[in-house]
Structure 1
């Protein structure tokens, strides 16, 4: 279990860092494109495309983080008026559905990304399948996040606190 907890911590920190970097990249590309467009009247032809890719990757990775930290919207407002036992069942049901969505994204997302034809000329003829690989990557991460959280809910895995560092545990 300690190894699983360490894997969970490293993955959570890694995804969080990548999301922060993607946000910085989005802001940087947007500012650069706007300045080049308005001040120098010479916008880069690749700026909007890379900003869009960074945005899509950020959202997909953040969804996996939201599933793992259980900070998704789901039906949080309804939970306050339901009995605790029913709320636990609903939360578990949401996690099972998220795991199913993640599995579907991983399997069919890979097939879709692998089969897509063409290239982005503005990015040096980068194959269109490269940015599409976020589908299976995010799908796998969502599946893992939901599975780990389900394991915590059913008692197979000890519940973690926010920001737990497994290196500091006994």
Structure 2
């Protein structure tokens, strides 16, 4: 499971870094074209807007999968043992439900409905922009499934060792 997480992490990091570097280059070109050449680029602004949406959605999926998102831990900090494990898995299941319904299903609907509309400056379907929603949702579902398995394995390993020690005593 850790190999899958590592591969997924590295792939998402590479895509985000490549997209960010491309955005910096395009933004730099836009500034040069506008202020040095006095001929502003209209395509660059549209590309940056499009790229920012994709970068944001992929980065949100990465952060959610890494369990580094903003969360209120008032309750979970007080829980221990099976209660903490159950609650942690429940939170991951809520993420899966949200990603499935809102991001994957809703995003697919939005992308499908807008595929016939063309993003004028880039000459691509607007559905390509909305496709970032189901893509991010799929990544979140994959990460949350991996998280559920990891949480359960960690709990089982901790309690398995305690049971062995009790039997040896």
> What range describes the TM-score normalised by the shorter chain of this pair?
0.7 to 0.9
Number of residue-to-residue matches in the alignment? 154
The equivalent of 2:89 in structure 1 is 92
Among candidates 100, 125, 128, match of residue 126 of structure 2: 128
Among candidates 43, 48, 61, match of residue 45 of structure 2: 48
Judged with a 3 Å threshold, the aligned counterparts in structure 2 of structure 1 residues 82 and 157 are, in CA distance, closer, same or farther, namely: closer
- Match of 1:75, SS state, is coil
Q: TM-score, normalised by structure 1?
A: 0.78
Specify the structure having the higher radius of gyration (Cα).
Answer: 2
The equivalent of 2:78 in structure 1 is 82
Q: Are positions 1:146 and 2:144 aligned together?
A: yes
- C-alpha displacement at 1:60, in angstroms? 0.8
Unaligned segments of structure 2, at least 5 residues: 158-169
Q: TM-score, normalised by structure 2?
A: 0.79
Cα distance in 1 for partners of 2:27, 2:108 equals 29
Q: Are positions 1:7 and 2:4 aligned together?
A: yes
Deviant stretches of 4+, over 6 Å = 156-159
Unaligned segments of structure 1, at least 5 residues: 160-170
Q: Are positions 1:63 and 2:60 aligned together?
A: yes
Cα distance in 2 for partners of 1:63, 1:109 equals 15
The equivalent of 2:18 in structure 1 is 21
CA RMSD between the two structures: 2.5
Judged with a 3 Å threshold, the aligned counterparts in structure 2 of structure 1 residues 92 and 80 are, in CA distance, closer, same or farther, namely: closer
Cα distance in 2 for partners of 1:59, 1:84 equals 34
Among candidates 137, 144, 153, match of residue 155 of structure 1: 153
Q: Is the 8 A contact 2:117 2:126 kept in 1?
A: yes
